[in-house]
Each structure stands twice: as structure tokens, then as C-alpha cells.
């Protein structure tokens, strides 16, 4: 069946007693803590299990198709089984899955990234976004000789110890808005981490200025996700990223952009769309075309710390799968398809989706909004302006609202994350977006009864 002939229909088959999904869930929970290795995909009563994807549709193990507005947590910008991406992977697989030696796809992907993003002079590959962020922080520490890092409240950057701080803060522990507490967001972090992470308020230049005046001399890197989904996709206020550029330079701090998701917003990523000119950028997700990848790129003098050809490297790297040819081939094919025209299409589709959802929320009196930019959207349980992490209600009612909407959408044939994250792919057209909006209408109507 071709993608365009698959229709989504309302279904709750996965919830039925004795369904294939219920059986798989029971088996998985005996084998894997929580039933899956990705905490982000655990929700009540249990997730659907994917069997296959084609274009913008995903079919579950019950045989039910839905429109995929999550695309492996934003990684699949061309949707599932894109012909060019699959051909590149299959061609490479015919030559070998991975080697000890470097290979041509790694060089090709590096060239595509450096050509696209003006702040990249050199690039270095890893196997995940988490590893890319970890390497960027290590480079900054080695370059500056300082230990501390600064990050924004609510910013998610993967699960390296030093970024698992203040990701899940609550009103009970987050402290002063202008000087947020650094709150551990996972067990297993050394207490030293708490001492070495400064938490900053997003979109608050005075707050950032004051905190950096106090601690700036000890900080190696300031890490920012220009468009943070945990913060309701709060857009950086006009000039905020340029302010970060200026203030970090003044304090001798390296500015790191985390564009693991935000690289989706345009040909040169978030830095091309919102400004900021970082020293280093962490990438992941779309640059691997659906296969595991991460990359850090930036200034040649900083990246040069990884270079062992001019004396011993100052920062030691490794990774059996770093720069692996399958991911690099998929990533290069993905970037080649991402033309300016495709970004314009995605922008228009994203606008249509956000405006459509917002008019449904308004018409039905839901105090909520679809925020975001370009091909990204976030379902947020407030109709007030979103500036940062604290703009989002985090009480039980807000969580229950999102849970009901998420479940309603799943039944109506649309996949978003259980925290309201959604994104589009180039596999979609206006009719697909309108089909999603029909499902939104159904899901929201179900919330009123
Ligand atoms: C902004 C951001 N940074 C880093 C990461 C970590 O990337 P990965 O899951 O590939 O380790 C993620 C993952 O969702 C992310 O959204």
C-alpha cells in the first residue's frame, strides 16, 4: 500500500484486553524496566508498538495507521522510508555496515554541515545528541581551563550528568525566578555536579547578566537550546541570543548552541534563523536521517583540541560507532534533500498546523495553544504568552489535560508526544495537515464530554 492510500480511522484497538500491544507490553515489562529503554515514551496505560512506517504514516502492531507527527522525536524530517535515504543506506550496507577505518560518508556529511552553517569550521561525529553535548562541554572546559557550566532552567540536553540539572524543576524547588536553583533531575548524579552547574533564566538578560557577573570567571560554557520544547517552545526574544553572544565573550565563556532539535528550523539551523553565532554547536537527530548520530562543530581553534596530528590531542575521543558510514550516508542523503524550497514548504505546513490547532482551541474554549516555529509545534495548556519554563502550568490539572489530549489524538489517528511535542515532515502535504486538524477536532470534542 502506498502512503497516500493509507487512511487513518478512529481506533482504540491497542487498548483492548488481549490486544497484540497489551501482550507485548506485558512481556516487555518483565524484561525491560518500564517496558522500553526510552523513558520519554512511557505513559499510561501503555504506548502503541510500531510495526512499520511509510511517509507520514505509522502502522502499529494492530494494523492501525496514524499520521506520525512525532517522527522519532523529531529525527525523521523526511518521514519514514524516504526513498533516497533508504537507497543511500542500502547502498552503503552493501559495502559494509561499519569499519575501524574512516570512510567517505563521514567526510561527505562533514562537508555538507560545514557548507551549511557559517559558524562551523570543523566538525566531529558522535553517536547521539547526548554525546555531542558531552563533547562540547569537555572541549569548553579544556579550552578555558574552567570547570563550571551554565544552562537554562528547563533546557533538556540529553542525559550526561552535567546537563541533567533543572530540567524538571517544580514550583516547590525552583527558587527565585531571576536566580533559579540548580535542581538535580535524576538520581545517580555526583554531588559535585550541583556545585558546578549554574542555572539561568531564559529570555531574561538582566538575570543572566547578574548571575554571570557573580560566577562568570568560573564558567567554561553557556549551553542554550534556542527553541526549548520543555519550555513550551518559547522563542528567543528579539536580540536575546545576540546578547548571550556578547555577554559570554565578555566573560571568556564559550557559547554552545544545542541544535539537536532546533537544526530543523532552517537551512542554517536556529543560528541562521534567530542569530547568536555560537562558538560550538551540538547536533543530532535529523543529521543522521533516522540512524544514531551526534556531532559537535565550531571554531577551528577549539575543535583543534581533538586533533592528534600536531602533538598530543588535549581532548581524547573514541567511540566504536562515531562517524559510522551508515548514519553518515543516511544523514548526507537527508541534508541533500533539505533544500530551501523544502524548508519553505515545512514553514507553511507548520503555520497551517499551529493556526488550525489554535483556532480549534479558541472555538472550543480551551485555554491552550500550539506554540513553536517552522516544522515544530508544542501543545501547551495555557493561552498566555510563553517566555520560558515558568510560563507553563505544571500542576496536576495541566498534566491531566495533556494526557487526555494525547490519548484522544492517538485514538483519532495522530501521534504526538505525551508531553505535547509535535513536528512535521517533508512527507506531508496540506491534505495531511488538514487530516490531522480533523483528528484534533475529534480529540478536543472528546475532552468536553
Ligand atoms: C535539545 C536536545 N539535546 C540533546 C538531546 C539528546 O540527544 P540523544 O537523544 O540523541 O542523546 C535531545 C534529545 O531529545 C534534545 O532534544
Percentage of the chain lying above the pLDDT 90 cut: 94
Element (H, E) at 107: helix 104-116
Distance CA 327, CA 291 (A): 5
Least confident residue range of 20-24, 40-44, 163-167, 271-275? 40-44
Nearest ligand 1 atom, CA 262: 1
Query: Quick one: pLDDT at residue 8?
Result: 66
Give me ligand 1 centre to Cα 245, in Å. Answer: 22
**Nearest residue by C-alpha to atom 7 in ligand 1:** 129
Instruction: Tell me the per-residue pLDDT of 323-368, one tens digit each, with 9 for 90 and over.
Output: 999 999 999 999 999 999 999 999 999 999 999 999 999 999 999 9
pLDDT band with cut points at 50, 70 and 90 for residue 7: low
389 is catalytic: no
- Within a 10 A sphere around the Cβ of 33, how many other Cβ atoms? 10
Give me ligand 1 centre to Cα 130, in Å. Answer: 6
Going from the C-alpha of 220 to that of each of 153, 182, 215, 243, 276, the distances in angstroms are: 18, 17, 11, 17, 18
Mean pLDDT across the stretch 120-133?
A: 98
User: Per-residue pLDDT for 185 more than 70?
Assistant: yes
Distance CA 106, CA 111 (A): 9
For residues 414 and 66, is the Cβ–Cβ distance under 8 A?
A: yes
Query: Quick one: pLDDT at residue 448?
Result: 74
258 is catalytic: yes
* Nearest residue to 35 via CA among 24, 18, 186: 24
- Residue whose CB lies within 8 A of the most ligand 1 atoms, among 130, 223, 282, for a mutation test: 130
Give me ligand 1 centre to Cα 364, in Å. Answer: 34
For residue 287, give the DSSP letter. Answer: G
Nearest ligand 1 atom, CA 129: 7
Query: Quick one: pLDDT at residue 449?
Result: 59
pTM metric for this prediction? 0.97
pLDDT band with cut points at 50, 70 and 90 for residue 273: very high
Share of the chain residues as helix, strand and coil, in percent rounded to the nearest 5: 45, 15, 40
User: Per-residue pLDDT for 16 more than 80?
Assistant: yes
User: Per-residue pLDDT for 5 more than 60?
Assistant: no
- Residue whose CB lies within 8 A of the most ligand 1 atoms, among 76, 127, 129, for a mutation test: 129
pLDDT band with cut points at 50, 70 and 90 for residue 6: low
pLDDT band with cut points at 50, 70 and 90 for residue 4: very low
Using a 6 Å CB cutoff, which residues line ligand 1?
A: 73, 128-130, 133, 156-158, 225, 258, 260-261, 284, 294
**Nearest residue by C-alpha to atom 13 in ligand 1:** 158
**Nearest residue by C-alpha to atom 5 in ligand 1:** 158
Instruction: Tell me the per-residue pLDDT of 414-430, one tens digit each, with 9 for 90 and over.
Output: 999 999 999 999 999 99
Query: Quick one: pLDDT at residue 39?
Result: 83
Q: Residues 60, 160, 279, 285: which is the catalytic one? A: 285
Query: Quick one: pLDDT at residue 11?
Result: 85
Distance CA 70, CA 169 (A): 25
Instruction: Tell me the per-residue pLDDT of 28-55, one tens digit each, with 9 for 90 and over.
Output: 999 999 999 998 788 889 999 999 999 9
User: Per-residue pLDDT for 286 more than 80?
Assistant: yes
Mean pLDDT across the stretch 210-237?
A: 96
Query: Which strands, in side-by-side order, build the sheet including 254-258?
Result: 122-126, 294-298, 280-284, 254-258, 219-224, 148-152, 197-200
**Nearest residue by C-alpha to atom 14 in ligand 1:** 158
User: Per-residue pLDDT for 1 more than 70?
Assistant: no
> What does DSSP say about strands 254-258 and 50-54: parallel, antiparallel, or unpaired?
unpaired
Angular region, 60: left φ>0, alpha ψ -120 to 50, beta rest: beta
User: Per-residue pLDDT for 3 more than 60?
Assistant: no
159 is catalytic: no
Cell of 371: 506554540
Give me ligand 1 centre to Cα 284, in Å. Answer: 7
pLDDT band with cut points at 50, 70 and 90 for residue 198: very high
Mean pLDDT over all residues of the chain? 95
Q: Residues 60, 68, 151, 156: which is the catalytic one? A: 156
Give me ligand 1 centre to Cα 48, in Å. Answer: 22
Instruction: Tell me the per-residue pLDDT of 47-104, one tens digit each, with 9 for 90 and over.
Output: 999 999 999 999 999 999 999 999 999 999 999 999 999 999 999 999 999 999 999 9
Amino acid at each position: 500500500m502506498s502512503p497516500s492510500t493509507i487512511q487513518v480511522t478512529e481506533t482504540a484497538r491497542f487498548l483492548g484486553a488481549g490486544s497484540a500491544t497489551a501482550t507485548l507490553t506485558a512481556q516487555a515489562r518483565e524484561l525491560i524496566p518500564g517496558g522500553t529503554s526510552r523513558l520519554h515514551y512511557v505513559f499510561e496505560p501503555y504506548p502503541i508498538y510500531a510495526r512499520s512506517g511509510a511517509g507520514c504514516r505509522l502502522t502499529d502492531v494492530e494494523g492501525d495507521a496514524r499520521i506520525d507527527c512525532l517522527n522519532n522525536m523529531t529525527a525523521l524530517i523526511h518521514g519514514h522510508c524516504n526513498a533516497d535515504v533508504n537507497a543511500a543506506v542500502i547502498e552503503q550496507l552493501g559495502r559494509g555496515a561499519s569499519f575501524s577505518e574512516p570512510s567517505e560518508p563521514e567526510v561527505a556529511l562533514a562537508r555538507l554541515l560545514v557548507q551549511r552553517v557559517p559558524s562551523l569550521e570543523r566538525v566531529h561525529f558522535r553517536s547521539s545528541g547526548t554525546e555531542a553535548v558531552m563533547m562540547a562541554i569537555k572541549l569548553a572546559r579544556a579550552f578555558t581551563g574552567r570547570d563550571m557550566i551554565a544552562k537554562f532552567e528547563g533546557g533538556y540536553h540529553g542525559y550526561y550528568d552535567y546537563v541533567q540539572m533543572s530540567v524538571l524543576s517544580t514550583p516547590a524547588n525552583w527558587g527565585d525566578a531571576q536566580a533559579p536553583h540548580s535542581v538535580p533531575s535524576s538520581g545517580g548524579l555526583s554531588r559535585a555536579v550541583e556545585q558546578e552547574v549554574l542555572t539561568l533564566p531564559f529570555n531574561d538578560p538582566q538575570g543572566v547578566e547578574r548571575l554571570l557577573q557573580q560566577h562568570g570567571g568560573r564558567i567554561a560554557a553557556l549551553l542554550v537550546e534556542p527553541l526549548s520544547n520543555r519550555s513550551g517552545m518559547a522563542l528567543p526574544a528579539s536580540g536575546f541570543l545576540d546578547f548571550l553572544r556578547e555577554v559570554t565573550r565578555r566573560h571568556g565563556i564559550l557559547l554552545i548552541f544545542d541544535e539537536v532539535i532546533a537544526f530543523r528550523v532552517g537551512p542554517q539551523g536556529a543560528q541562521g534563523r534567530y542569530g547568536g553565532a555560537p562558538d560550538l554547536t551540538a547536533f543530532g537527530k535529523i543529521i543522521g536521517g533516522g540512524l544514531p548520530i551526534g556531532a559537535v562543530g565550531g571554531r577551528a581553534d577549539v575543535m583543534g583540541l581533538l586533533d592528534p596530528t600536531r602533538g598530543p590531542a588535549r581532548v581524547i575521543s573514541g567511540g566504536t560507532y562515531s562517524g559510522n558510514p551508515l548514519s553518515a550516508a543516511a544523514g548526507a542523503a537527508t541534508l541533500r534533500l533539505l533544500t530551501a524550497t523544502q524548508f519553505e514548504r515545512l514553514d507553511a505546513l507548520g503555520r497551517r498546523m499551529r493556526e488550525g490547532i489554535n483556532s480549534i482551541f479558541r472555538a472550543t474554549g480551551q485555554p491552550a495553544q500550539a506554540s513553536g516555529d517552522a516544522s515544530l509545534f508544542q501543545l501547551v495548556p495555557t493561552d498566555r504568552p510563553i517566555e520560558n519554563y515558568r510560563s507553563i502550568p505544571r500542576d496536576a490539572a495541566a498534566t491531566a489535560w495533556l494526557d487526555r489530549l494525547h490519548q484522544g489524538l492517538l485514538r483519532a489517528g495522530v501521534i504526538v508526544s505525551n508531553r505535547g511535542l509535535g513536528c512535521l515532515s517533508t512527507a506531508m502535504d496540506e491534505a495531511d495537515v488538514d487530516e490531522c486538524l480533523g483528528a484534533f477536532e475529534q480529540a478536543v470534542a472528546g475532552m468536553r464530554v
